Amino acid sequence: MVDSVSGATAGAAAASAAKADAATLNKDFDQFLLLLTTQLQNQDPLDPMDSAEFTNQLVAFSGVEQQIKANEMMEQMLALNVLNITSIGLGFIGLDVERLGENFMFDGENATTLGYAVGENAVSTQINILNEDGDTVLSVSGESEYGKHDFTWDGLAADGTPLPAGKYRVSVTSTDAEGKPVEVTTTVPSRVTGIESGENGDVILIVAGGEKVSITDVRKATQPGTSL
């Protein structure tokens, strides 16, 4: 799968860019050395270069050399870091995870456990299940106490009709005694099918249904068949 190796590809691209930068710095280094030696060869023996100026140029020469070595070390560290991150991401492929989010896949048979965390004590909480078209198929009351709660959906609509397999979304809202909204975060189960690299080199997980989520959104991971 292309997605499963794209993190390594991105790492190779980053390393290639670092090598290009190092090559440019090496070129500047060579030009500096050529200019300095040419200047020494063509100086007037009766009026040689000022020792202080010569020392300053040598210091600059040393600084360029140190910068090249530092860039090479950074390049090696970057390549190793990308490799480590990619290896971690590859380890998630095939696992069932509980992650931050709202969208989830329903297989049409097994009950799905959804999670939600209420930011503070509320007086009312409503759990809504919506289908892929955005229609609400079920609306029930939930727990309003502060903290994390679970809701197991049996795959039935409000009238008890079994719903087909597909993509669904959970929406949970809580309000306080004054009717003001209380912060709620939701977690959903997903199966990881691949990975890719984000713009900043972070690992993006691809889950069943095609959604892309950050690896930092994962709250729990288990082998298939093991309860989350």
Residue 77 gets the label, from left (phi > 0), alpha (psi -120 to 50) or beta, of: alpha
Q: Are both 82 and 143 inside the same structural domain?
A: no
Neighbours of 7 (CB within 10 A): 26
Task: Give the pLDDT confidence score for residue 225 in this predicted structure.
Answer: 75
The domain tally of the chain equals: 2
Task: Give the pLDDT confidence score for residue 89 in this predicted structure.
Answer: 76
Give me Rg for the CA atoms of the chain.
29
Q: Are both 35 and 81 inside the same structural domain?
A: yes
Task: Give the pLDDT confidence score for residue 6 in this predicted structure.
Answer: 44
DSSP string, 28-63: HHHHHHHHHHHHHHTSBTTBPPPHHHHHHHHHHHHH
CA 32, CA 67: separation in Å to the nearest integer? 14
Whether 228 maps to a domain, the answer reads: no
pLDDT tens-digit readout, 173-193: 999 999 999 999 999 999 999
Is the pLDDT assigned to residue 129 strictly greater than 90?
yes
Of 90, 110, 139, which marks where a domain is finished?
90
Whether 21 maps to a domain, the answer reads: yes
CA 45, CA 43: separation in Å to the nearest integer? 6
CA 211, CA 101: separation in Å to the nearest integer? 10
CA 148, CA 174: separation in Å to the nearest integer? 13
Of 36, 68, 90, which marks where a domain is finished?
90
Whether 227 maps to a domain, the answer reads: no
Which percentage of the chain shows pLDDT scores above 90? 51
Q: Are both 113 and 135 inside the same structural domain?
A: yes
Q: Please give the model's pTM, rounded to 2 decimal places.
A: 0.63
Mean pLDDT of 120-149: 97
The conformation of residue 204, written as its DSSP 8-state character, comes to E
Q: Are both 39 and 58 inside the same structural domain?
A: yes
Is the pLDDT assigned to residue 101 strictly greater than 80?
yes
Q: Are both 63 and 100 inside the same structural domain?
A: no
State the Cα angle at 185 between 180 and 187, rounded to 5°.
150
Q: Are both 29 and 83 inside the same structural domain?
A: yes
Q: Are both 77 and 103 inside the same structural domain?
A: no
CA 112, CA 26: separation in Å to the nearest integer? 58
**Which ranges of the chain does DSSP label H, i.e. alpha helix?**
2-41, 51-90
- Token readout for 120 is 């503070």
Q: Are both 110 and 81 inside the same structural domain?
A: no
CA 82, CA 69: separation in Å to the nearest integer? 20
Of 45, 67, 90, which marks where a domain is finished?
90
Q: Are both 109 and 204 inside the same structural domain?
A: yes
Mean pLDDT of 51-78: 68
Q: Are both 81 and 106 inside the same structural domain?
A: no
Lowest mean pLDDT segment, chosen from 49-63, 99-113, 170-184? 49-63
Specify the 3-state DSSP secondary structure of 139: strand
Whether 145 maps to a domain, the answer reads: yes
Q: Are both 118 and 195 inside the same structural domain?
A: yes
The neighbouring-strand residues paired with 104 are: 168
Whether 182 maps to a domain, the answer reads: yes
Q: Are both 108 and 215 inside the same structural domain?
A: yes
Q: Range of 32's domain?
A: 2-90
Lowest mean pLDDT segment, chosen from 60-69, 155-164, 218-227? 60-69
